[in-house]
């Protein structure tokens, strides 16, 4: 899938992130809320998947924050039809998306810290397990809302905001490889 447009690659990234979250949710659900379940959270599978999710989430966020958002903002405001309105909309949405990234990073940091504390203590306390489940639920909800907003609102607005010649130029400048494909 190398050589796809940035918007398509970022949509695929969202699918990859959702897949990791679904696998983690399945683990949490299967373990229940027992002492054995709390211990299973520390068995390495959950932490390993969470660390993988964190790595891929950060890669995706950097691509948006350092590459896609600045370049798309410039392209959208280069005088295409409705550039002023679309540019203002995109500027506000990009700022909102970056705030969502910060919230997701905070939730991830807390989950990783809770796991590390459980590992250091040789087991996870009931309060830690409850907090981990709560933060994971918040993370899952924010990620889903954030990805859906980008997929259904922001990305289509960018695609409509570019003239045909800008779209062609954007493909050359904004082409990336989706997560999990050679990175």
**1 belongs to a structural domain:** no
The CATH number of the domain holding residue 52 is 1.20.120.520
Angle in degrees, CA 18, 22, 26, rounded to 5: 170
**181 belongs to a structural domain:** no
Q: How many alpha carbons fall within 13 Å on the CB side of residue 7?
A: 17
Instruction: Give 160's DSSP letter.
Output: H
- Is 77 in a helix, a strand, or coil? coil
Q: What is the pLDDT of residue 112?
A: 97
Q: What is the pTM of this model?
A: 0.83
Q: Is 59 left (phi over 0), alpha (psi -120 to 50) or beta?
A: alpha
Q: What is the pLDDT of residue 22?
A: 97
Q: What is the pLDDT of residue 70?
A: 76
Mean pLDDT value across the chain: 82
For the cut 70, the answer to whether the pLDDT of residue 79 exceeds it is no
**96 belongs to a structural domain:** yes
- Is 4 in a helix, a strand, or coil? strand
The answer for residues whose C-beta is within 8 angstroms of residue 74's C-beta and 6 or more apart is none
**182 belongs to a structural domain:** no
Domain count, the chain: 1
**110 belongs to a structural domain:** yes
The answer for residues whose C-beta is within 8 angstroms of residue 77's C-beta and 6 or more apart is 83, 84, 86, 87, 90
**57 belongs to a structural domain:** yes
Range of the domain at 96: 6-174
For the cut 90, the answer to whether the pLDDT of residue 132 exceeds it is yes
């Amino acid at each position: 899938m190398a050589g796809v447009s940035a918007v398509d690659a970022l949509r695929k990234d969202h699918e990859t992130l959702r897949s990791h979250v679904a696998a983690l949710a399945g683990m949490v659900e299967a373990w229940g809320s027992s002492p054995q379940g709390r211990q299973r959270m520390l068995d390495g599978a959950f932490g390993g998947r969470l660390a993988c999710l964190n790595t891929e989430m950060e890669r995706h966020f950097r691509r948006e924050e350092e590459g896609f958002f600045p370049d798309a903002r410039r392209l959208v405001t280069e005088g295409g039809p409705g550039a002023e309105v679309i540019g203002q909309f995109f500027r506000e949405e990009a700022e909102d998306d970056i705030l969502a990234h910060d919230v997701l990073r905070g939730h991830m940091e807390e989950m990783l810290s809770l796991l590390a504390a459980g590992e250091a203590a040789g087991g996870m306390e009931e309060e830690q397990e409850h907090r981990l489940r709560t933060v994971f639920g918040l993370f899952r909800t924010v990620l889903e809302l954030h990805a859906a907003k980008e997929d259904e609102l922001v990305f289509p607005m960018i695609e409509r905001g570019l003239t045909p010649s800008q779209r062609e130029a954007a493909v050359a400048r904004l082409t990336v490889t989706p997560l999990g494909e050679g990175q």
